[in-house]
Structure 1
Amino acid sequence: MKRFYVIGFALLLGFDTLNLVCFKLAGTHALPVEMSAAWLARVLSSPWIYGAIAGYIGAFVSWMSLLKHAPIGPAFAASHLEVVSVMALSYWVFNEPVTPTQVIGALAIVAGIVCLAFAEGDEGTGDVVPA
């Protein structure tokens, strides 16, 4: 079951990150933003918008599969790791600045997930047994 969680959360993180990065690239490709048929054509002609849609679908399927088995507390917390991965990719790929406050926030997210995972491990599986 542990392997299922690792693979499931890795897929969720990958799909969420894909979605957000592709939306950034699709938005950049579609500039300037305007309410026109030309703008809509630019959006729909961008391969990045389809990457974003694929990321959304993949994240949804991954999340629904994980919710069948994973304890909700750590699962919900771990589902927000994309904040950290997107911040790191934005720094690396888009040369966006990362402030000390963002780094502290990312460390807090990771520390919170680790604490929840250890707490859940101490309590057992966390599965609800029907009466």
Structure 2
Amino acid sequence: MKRFYLIGFLVLMAFDTLAQLSFKMAGNAALPLELSPAWLWRVFSDPWIYGALAGYIGAFFTWMHLLRRAPIGPAFAASHLEIISALVVSHYLFQENVGAPQIAGCLFILAGIACLAMSEAQDHRKAEHA
């Protein structure tokens, strides 16, 4: 079961990261913003918009599959790992600044996931002994 969670959340993180980065690339390609047929053509002819769509659809179906088996608390927290992966990949692809506030935020996300996972494990052990 642990392998299921590990693989599942890695797949979810990959789809979410693909969606976030593709959406950023599509947004960059859509500039300058204007309401015109040429702008719409530019947006929908850019392949990154379809990468974002594929990422969101993949993340949705992966999330639905995970929720069948995963406890909701840790699952919800772990679903936010894409914030960390998108930050790391954006740093390398887009040279975005990663400073102390971003690192602190990542650490809080990881600490929250760890706390919820430990709490869930504790509840599971109590249920087994009851």
Give distance in 2, aligned partners of 1:36 and 1:103: 40
Name the structure where helix makes up a greater proportion of residues. 2
The equivalent of 2:76 in structure 1 is 76
Alignment of structure 1 residues 74-113 onto 2, 5 Å: 74-113=74-113
2: CA distance, partners of 1:44 / 1:112: 38
Superposed structure 1 runs of 4+ greater than 6 Å apart: none
- TM-score, normalization by structure 1: 0.92
For residue 47 of structure 2, what is the aligned residue in structure 1? 47
Q: Give the structure 2 partner of residue 34 of structure 1.
A: 34
Quote the sequence identity (%): 59
1:25-78 superposed Cα distances (whole Å, 9 cap, x missing partner)? 011112111111111101111110000000001000000001110000000001
Query: Who is 1:22 aligned against?
Result: 22
Structure 2 unaligned residues grouped into runs of 5+:
126-130
Amino acid in the other structure paired with 2:49: I
Structure 1: gaps of 5 or more residues: 126-131
Q: Counterpart amino acid of 2:60?
A: F
Q: TM-score, normalised by structure 2?
A: 0.92
Structure 1 vs Structure 2 CA RMSD: 1.4
Q: Distance in 2 between matches of 1:96 and 1:3?
A: 33
The offset of 1:99, in angstroms, is: 2.0
Cα distance, 1:19 vs structure 2: 0.2
**What is the aligned partner in structure 2 of residue 65 from structure 1?**
65
Q: Could you tell me how far apart the structure 2 residues matched to 1:27 and 1:101 are?
A: 25
Distance 2:25 2:53 in 1: 13
Number of aligned residues: 126
Amino acid at match of 1:83: I
Greater alpha carbon shift after TM alignment, 6-15 vs 116-125: 116-125
